[in-house]
Amino acid sequence: MVPALPDVAPCNGQDGKPCCLFTHHTRARKTGPRFALQVMGCSAHEIYFTLYPPGHVPYGRERIAPVAPDGSPCYGAEDTSCFAGTWFDAALDAAAGEAWPRDFNENQPSGKPRFGTQLNRLARACLLTGVASDLPRAYRDTCVQVLAVPGQVLHDATQAIELESGYRGRGRSVRAVLDHLAMASSLFERLAACGAAAGLWPPLYLWQPDVGQLLPSRFQQPGTRAPPVAVGARAVPQNA
């Protein structure tokens, strides 16, 4: 799998100069996509950016949504089980009362995540779905709008965490939001937009093959804290 390369970057048109793109290098990773990521540069504006396949975000080890590298949905189910193998595994296991190993055990498979990792991913899952108890009202409203989830669902899930703040309670609150997400082709884009609004990663730019450009996400919200860079590109078979 190799990425479909854009003709212009997000910097196109800055200072009245058109982009002049080139491939800088490919970057292999031990986690994330099972193929190298593409790092590109623009000699006209002297910037570099990395192309990530749909489902993946910068510095992420797992997909945040059940989509294939070419952007097609991998749902296969109409409930939260479709999130197996994504960033939300930690929350779904927590909701089921399944704690990841707390200490190293020689009987555990090599590289099995530990309980500390589960807590870290659970905390981000609470932020991404808008159920963390200390979130600003404006951000929670953003999650309601972008995720297209009823506000009462987020309110009830947040209240539940205040009553039961342990890892199981937080997992159940995240699962309650996932239960109400529409399994549509825009699912990754919506979740990525919430993460950008929270400052977890830069605003999303998506590859649009009909125009050969990286364009801002339609769900991008004002007030994001990180500068915009390209973080989305459709992957295609290497012989395509």
Domain boundaries, the chain: 2-59+188-236, 80-182
Give all strands (DSSP E) within the chain, no chain letters. 2-3, 21-27, 37-42, 47-51, 205-208, 213-216, 235-236
Query: Across the chain, what does the average pLDDT equal?
Result: 82
Q: Once rounded to an integer, what is the mean pLDDT over residues 47-59?
A: 86
For position 214, what pLDDT does the model report?
75
Least confident of 25-39, 115-129, 187-201, 216-230: 216-230
Which tops the pLDDT comparison, 235 or 155?
Answer: 155
For position 230, what pLDDT does the model report?
46
* H or E stretch covering 162: helix 151-163
At 7, give phi and psi (nearest 5°).
-90, -30
197 CB-side CA count, 13 A: 28
CB environment 43-54: b (16+ within 10 A), e (fewer): ebbebebbbbbb
Q: Identify the top-confidence range among 51-65, 68-82, 200-214.
A: 51-65
**What is the tens place of the pLDDT at every residue in 110-131?**
556 889 999 999 999 999 999 9
Q: What is the pTM of this model?
A: 0.81
For position 84, what pLDDT does the model report?
85
**What is the tens place of the pLDDT at every residue in 73-110?**
776 656 788 888 888 999 999 999 999 998 766 565 55
For position 112, what pLDDT does the model report?
65
- For residue 194 the two structure tokens come to 């919430």
Which tops the pLDDT comparison, 13 or 51?
Answer: 51
For position 107, what pLDDT does the model report?
61
Q: Please enumerate in sequence order all residues whose Cβ is within 8 A of that of 84, keeping only pairs 6 or more positions apart, or say none.
A: 66, 92
Q: With 90 as the cut, is the pLDDT of residue 228 above it?
A: no
CA dihedral 221→143→124→98, nearest 10 degrees, is -160
For position 152, what pLDDT does the model report?
95
Contact of 100 with 113, CB cutoff 8 Å: yes
**What is the tens place of the pLDDT at every residue in 3-43?**
778 888 878 877 888 889 999 998 887 777 778 888 999 99
For position 237, what pLDDT does the model report?
40
**Beta bridge partner(s), residue 86:** 63
Q: Once rounded to an integer, what is the mean pLDDT over residues 161-176?
A: 94
